[in-house]
Amino acid sequence: MINLKKIPSIDEILIQEEIQQLIARYKRDFVVGTARTIVAEIREELRAVTEEIDKNVIFTAIVDKIKLMAESVNAGTLQRVINGTGVVLHTNLGRAPLAERAIKHVQEIGRSYNNLEMDLDKGERGSRYYHIEDLLKKLTGAEAALVVNNNAAAVMLGLTTLAAGKEVIVSRGQLVEIGGAFRIPEVMKLSGARLMEVGTTNKTYVSDYAQAINEETALLFSAHTSNYQIIGFTAEVSMKELVSLGKEKGLPVFMDLGSGIITSLDDGGLKGEPTVQECVQAGADIITFSGDKMLGGPQAGIIVGKKEYIEKMKTNQLLRALRVDKLILSALEGTLLEYLSGHPRGNIPIIQMLTYSPEQLEEKAENLFCLLKARLKDNQAHINSPVLSKHKEALSSIKVITLEDMVGGGAYPNHKMPGAGVEIEFNRISLENAARELRFKNPALVTRRQDNKMLISVRTLLPGDEQEIVEMIAKLIEEDSVN
């Protein structure tokens, strides 16, 4: 308790030069609030201290803590992360990073007024859904299109509009759960549609659908099993079979594609996924997919298909609750324009990442390795040496390796893409501590591990990330050497 009297008053703190600088930068009330919080914390801490502490030490500690807290609060909690995992669509890391064109469009639209709901031709009220519809029609060949908040919302809107109170036929092999929160049976229940399961987990035939059709049937539903595969003794009904059954019985076919690609990625080794255009051509009536999976845009749910069904969805009151805002629409428009008139391969980050050749990745890995080697030379790190003799050295080894990358985002579950990266074996710091330290930085670096080694895959690095990684690792080692 002997130290409590030494705690300065808030006024004394506020007149300090360093605190005055904070006040000039941030809101005064915010700095005062921060100072109060810190003083209260220090008071609590000092209560337990029995030996005497110098007044100046207490003062400096308070000022330092206020500065630190003010700056960390002002960095916000949503921050940039460097993705060294090699998982391209990492749901925990925000899925698709946006194309430059999308970002520019968001900036322009976001900072100004815009024609979100104004028909500039007529000077009258227009529809926000108008902007993207034409683009989506052009790109996919569909009669109509609609955009909502995410794909879960798209499925929900479609089912409620077309099948509430009626039956929807789904294969038991497709009653999927995606990302722990989206379960086809649950969404179906919420939408008011009744789920009619047919077939078995591993085998469903078109005759199973045919037999289940009755006067209560509203839809034939097919969910893309994007995050798992049933392999072995299996039978799945093809899109063609389902569409021809739908035509014969006069029932619409609803395809929840999930990932939804509009440019074939066959040459990137990602075969076997039908493009949205192919589904439209095959005659699917309603197709839904995510904006931030294989499309490489913002979070959105995209619905394309026959006009009569999409028009019905547009008049559903639920659409008001699922509607997208101007920022999403501008990011999506920017992304789609890149597909229409630009260079998706070069300019949409995730498309580029998914189509790197093994040689390109090896070159990227070699480049990261060389940058690290050059930067760490002074750090006595034993580059390229697998064995370490002097225990003082911070790293045991760094080397270029090949590894396996993943598409992620619940797409291509079994598809491992050959990748490349840098493997780092730390010496004094434990791998856990090193990985945590790198996650605590801003930007943070998220890496992979194998045994006791850190792996940084280069596939998911964006331009400029390499230099930052090098600095982060160098700092980590320097801090470690000081301690």
Ligand X SMILES: *Cc1c(COP(=O)(O)O)cnc(C)c1O
- The residues that touch ligand X, with contacts defined as CB under 6 A, are 150-152, 178, 182, 223-224, 226, 256, 258-259, 290, 301, 410
The dihedral of CA 325, 331, 334, 336: what is its sign? negative
Nearer to ligand X, 2 or 228 (CB): 228
Strand 177-178 and strand 182-183: pairing?
Answer: antiparallel
Smallest distance, ligand X to C-beta of residue 146, A:
14
Smallest distance, ligand X to C-beta of residue 95, A:
8
C-alpha R_g of the chain: 28
Q: For residue 348, what are its two tokens?
A: 């949409």
Smallest distance, ligand X to C-beta of residue 208, A:
20
Smallest distance, ligand X to C-beta of residue 256, A:
5
Nearest to 285 by CA among 162, 411, 147: 162
Question: How far separated are the first and last CA of the chain, in Å rounded?
Answer: 32
Smallest distance, ligand X to C-beta of residue 351, A:
18
DSSP state of 302: E
457/472 Cα distance (integer angstroms):
16
Nearer to ligand X, 309 or 412 (CB): 412
Nearer to ligand X, 38 or 176 (CB): 176
Smallest distance, ligand X to C-beta of residue 293, A:
6
Local structure of 38: helix, strand or coil? helix
Smallest distance, ligand X to C-beta of residue 150, A:
3
Nearer to ligand X, 83 or 299 (CB): 299
Strand 81-83 and strand 444-446: pairing?
Answer: parallel
Nearer to ligand X, 293 or 448 (CB): 293
Nearer to ligand X, 172 or 428 (CB): 172
User: Which residue's beta carbon is nearest to the bound ligand X?
Assistant: 258
Q: For residue 114, what are its two tokens?
A: 């815009």
Q: For residue 200, what are its two tokens?
A: 């078995």
Nearer to ligand X, 323 or 441 (CB): 323
Extract long-range pairs of 35-42: CB within 8 Å, 24+ residues apart: 35/10, 35/62, 35/66, 36/10, 37/69, 38/62, 38/65, 38/66, 38/69, 39/7, 39/8, 39/10, 39/13, 41/65, 42/7
143/284 Cα distance (integer angstroms):
11
Nearer to ligand X, 33 or 185 (CB): 185
Nearest to 476 by CA among 386, 379, 389, 369: 379
Whether cis (ω within 30° of 0) applies to the bond prior to 443 is yes
314/320 Cα distance (integer angstroms):
9
Smallest distance, ligand X to C-beta of residue 74, A:
31
Smallest distance, ligand X to C-beta of residue 91, A:
8
Nearer to ligand X, 62 or 331 (CB): 331
